[in-house]
Chains A and B, each alone.
Chain A
Amino acid sequence: MAILSSLIYDRTSPLSCAKIVVHLHASPANKEPGPYQQSKFSYFKLSFKEHGQIEFFRRLTEELSQKRWESTPMSQPIPTATNSQTGRTRAVGIVGIERKIEERRKETEKISQSKLMVKAKEMVELSRSIANKIKDKQGDITEDETIRFKSYLLSMGIANPVTRETHGSGTHYHLQLAKQLGDILLAPLEERGGMMALTEVYCLVNRARGMELLSPEDLVNACKMFESLKQPLRLRIFDSGVMVVQLQSHSEEEMISSALDNVTDKGSLTAEEFAKLLGLSVLLSKERLLLAEKMGHLCRDDSVEGLRFYPNLFNSQA
């Protein structure tokens, strides 16, 4: 930025956020190009929504008075732009950082692409051979081979071309992961009434792992394999799109009748009240109430006071 002329801490209006106004000198002629060629403003404002402005102001004033950037080697002006052939360019400020990021990205892209081409070639050959085998129904394709094949495709992001299934396949990694999850999640699920939102599972599992965190995609893909691995867990997707991991033993009827019993007992319940009663998250308790409503056991009262569920007297009472 151009050299600073003054720094003002704007405490004027109690209603708006605290602001720091940074006034700038006009830039000298020999200044290097920055993110903007020119601006009609000679100041910029920093707005602090919650807090931090006091500390920031103090530190900024300190830095500006020390002017540390003038004494570091990086401050030497360097001829810009056309240095990219040599690879590493030393550059100052935001522009320099941006340029480095861009270069790194391009390099990574080149490498990925070539690796991908090789893998793709292998894949095409493999797929052709297996597709032929499957077509002829000859040769012994073990289930394991088929699973592995489908899983490579899945990891490459290609849908299964042979049978057009959209779930049930996964990498060897996902298989292992699914087994692992089965072990890790049993106890937590029992504690939480047999159901956990996928987001809860994600946090729990990653917290336990520490390093080598799971990606959301890997988690979902692993969960999709529970059924084929005969794990006592299931991935379930509600109408609303909410995904949960559920213990097989917790049947739908149990959940619905428990919802109905609780609501009848208390006369009516909101999702929050139900959550407190069962020690569940509000999200999951709401899903149970909605399920019971869908099955016709509960009905809703939706007003400014909130959403409340009642036993469905329309059905039970004449």
Chain B
Amino acid sequence: MSFEWPWQYNFPPFFTLQPNVDTRQKQLAAWCSLALSYCRHHKLYTLDIMEVQECPVFNHKNIDRKLSTEAILIVFEELRKKGNLEWLDKNKTQCLVMWRRPEEWGKLIYQWVSKNGMVNTVFTLYELANGDDTESEEFHGLEEWMLIRSLQALQTDGKAEVITMDDGKGVKFF
């Protein structure tokens, strides 16, 4: 399924940071939503600031408009405030994108586990994210750092426990 661009994407002012405060708020909200859905569609979990500038999301070649680096950073700051983004370094060159937050992933994983009657079973992280059984699931292919955070969220809720085994990590669901 190809990605569906929102109407703003073809609206040139979308790529200019608006000086009017109210207008800017709406603009940024639209950018956050677009960035997250794009990352979700392409299963992107990590972004590099330099690369991202040339990415079609921020560089719309058809209308010859691109979002400035300054504006991209402002959008990312909004995402960070909403809990959808985390900087990997102080210089803000790389970040983690959480188009779904750890809690949300945890919920999905647990649903699958209980639906298949696999409570009280132990899984390795690899099995969970990359095993044949989970191939049709949304969390299939989830990157390890995200998987761990999701399981930790479940752990906080008392629904799982992360275990360290000989050759890696595993999880038991309750």
Does A pair with B?
yes
In the assembly, what is the distance between CA of A317 and CA of B15, in Å?
17
Asked if B22 and A296 sit within 8 Å, CB to CB, the answer is yes
- Across the interface, B13 reaches (CB within 8 A) one of A296, A300, A305, namely A300
B145 proximal to A (CB < 8 A): no
In the assembly, what is the distance between CA of A296 and CA of B18, in Å?
10
**Using Cβ atoms and an 8 Å threshold, which residues of chain A touch B26?**
314-315
Closest CB in chain B relative to A290 CB, distance in Å:
9
Q: A299-B18, A300-B18, A303-B65 are in contact. Are A314 and B23 (CB under 8 A)?
A: yes
- The main secondary structure of chain A at its interface with chain B is mixed
Asked if A303 and B19 sit within 8 Å, CB to CB, the answer is no
Nearest A residue (CB) for B66? A303
Q: Convert A296-317 into 0s and 1s, putting 1 for each residue whose CB lies closer than 8 angstroms to a CB of B.
A: 1001111101001010111101
Chain B residues bordering chain A, tally (CB within 8 A): 17
Q: Convert B48-65 into 0s and 1s, putting 1 for each residue whose CB lies closer than 8 angstroms to a CB of A.
A: 000000000000000011
Asked if A296 and B65 sit within 8 Å, CB to CB, the answer is no
Query: Which among B16, B64, B65 has the greatest number of chain A C-beta atoms within 10 A?
Result: B16
Asked if A312 and B23 sit within 8 Å, CB to CB, the answer is yes
In the assembly, what is the distance between CA of A268 and CA of B65, in Å?
16
B116 proximal to A (CB < 8 A): no
Asked if B11 and A310 sit within 8 Å, CB to CB, the answer is yes
Asked if B16 and A302 sit within 8 Å, CB to CB, the answer is yes
Asked if B64 and A294 sit within 8 Å, CB to CB, the answer is no
Query: Which among B8, B26, B30 has the greatest number of chain A C-beta atoms within 10 A?
Result: B26
Closest CB in chain A relative to B114 CB, distance in Å:
37
B12 proximal to A (CB < 8 A): yes
Query: Which among B8, B19, B30 has the greatest number of chain A C-beta atoms within 10 A?
Result: B19
Closest CB in chain B relative to A282 CB, distance in Å:
20
Q: Convert A201-232 into 0s and 1s, putting 1 for each residue whose CB lies closer than 8 angstroms to a CB of B.
A: 00000000000000000000000000000000
In the assembly, what is the distance between CA of A296 and CA of B25, in Å?
12
**Using Cβ atoms and an 8 Å threshold, which residues of chain B touch A312?**
20, 23
**Using Cβ atoms and an 8 Å threshold, which residues of chain B touch A301?**
12-13, 15-16, 65
In the assembly, what is the distance between CA of A140 and CA of B15, in Å?
65
B27 proximal to A (CB < 8 A): yes
Nearest B residue (CB) for A308? B12
Query: Which among A268, A293, A301 has the greatest number of chain B C-beta atoms within 10 A?
Result: A301
- Across the interface, A303 reaches (CB within 8 A) one of B11, B16, B22, namely B16
Closest CB in chain A relative to B161 CB, distance in Å:
44
Chain A residues bordering chain B, tally (CB within 8 A): 17
In the assembly, what is the distance between CA of A294 and CA of B8, in Å?
20
Asked if B20 and A294 sit within 8 Å, CB to CB, the answer is yes
In the assembly, what is the distance between CA of A299 and CA of B19, in Å?
9
- Across the interface, B20 reaches (CB within 8 A) one of A296, A303, A310, namely A296
B3 proximal to A (CB < 8 A): no
Q: Convert B31-71 into 0s and 1s, putting 1 for each residue whose CB lies closer than 8 angstroms to a CB of A.
A: 00000000000000000000000000000000011000000
Query: Could you tell me which residues of chain A, from 257 to 282, have a CB within 8 Å of some CB in chain B?
Result: 268
- Across the interface, B23 reaches (CB within 8 A) one of A268, A296, A302, A305, namely A296
Asked if A314 and B18 sit within 8 Å, CB to CB, the answer is yes
In the assembly, what is the distance between CA of A294 and CA of B12, in Å?
19
**Using Cβ atoms and an 8 Å threshold, which residues of chain A touch B23?**
296, 299, 312, 314-315
In the assembly, what is the distance between CA of A308 and CA of B63, in Å?
14
Query: Could you tell me which residues of chain B, from 68 to 92, have a CB within 8 Å of some CB in chain A?
Result: none
Chain A interface residues toward B at CB < 8 A: 268, 293-294, 296, 299-303, 305, 308, 310, 312-315, 317
Given A299-B27, A313-B13, A314-B30: 16 more A-B contacts, CB < 8 Å: A294-B20, A299-B16, A299-B23, A300-B19, A301-B13, A305-B64, A310-B13, A312-B20, A313-B7, A313-B8, A314-B8, A314-B13, A314-B18, A314-B26, A315-B22, A317-B7
Chain B interface residues toward A at CB < 8 A: 7-8, 11-13, 15-16, 18-20, 22-23, 26-27, 30, 64-65
Lowest 3 A-B CB distances belong to which pairs? A301-B12, A314-B26, A302-B16
